[in-house]
Amino acid sequence: MDPDDKTKIDQIIKLRKKAHSFYSEKSKVYKSFAEMENNTYIDGAITKKNKELIAIGISVVTNCESCMEWHIKQALDSGASQDEILEAVEVGMEMSGGPGTVAARFAMNVLEYYKK
């Protein structure tokens, strides 16, 4: 893994925790968003794991590195395999064309980061 990406992933995690702590106390809008997120990623007709895999593909399309880090970790925690995550990344690549391959490289580094 590129050491710069490892540093970036560590920073994303640190900043998310800091922001979550700050906004959870100060922002009704952030609290509403966090509640919506919690309600979105529960098992329903689609399992939490599959919802996380969908979110990974969308994260690649939008090139949201923080989203990739979060949803890959959540997918792993929900029982997704490395192969399932790779296929979700590939769907995102296909949906976004060339730019998706750049985002996919970061997603692969996140997956490697959590494989430690």
Backbone angles phi, psi at 27, to 5 degrees: -125, 115
At 69, the pLDDT band (50, 70, 90 cuts) reads: very high
Token pair of 86 as six digits: 């790779």
Residue 77 maps to which CATH number?
A: 1.20.1290.10
pLDDT of residue 41: 97
At 98, the pLDDT band (50, 70, 90 cuts) reads: confident
Number of structural domains in the chain: 1
78-to-7, 71, 104 alpha-carbon distances in Å: 25, 10, 21
Token pair of 56 as six digits: 């990974």
Domain residues for the domain of 51 are 3-115
* Separation CA 94–CA 96 (nearest Å): 6
pLDDT tens digits for range 21-60: 877 778 889 889 889 999 999 999 999 999 999 999 999 9
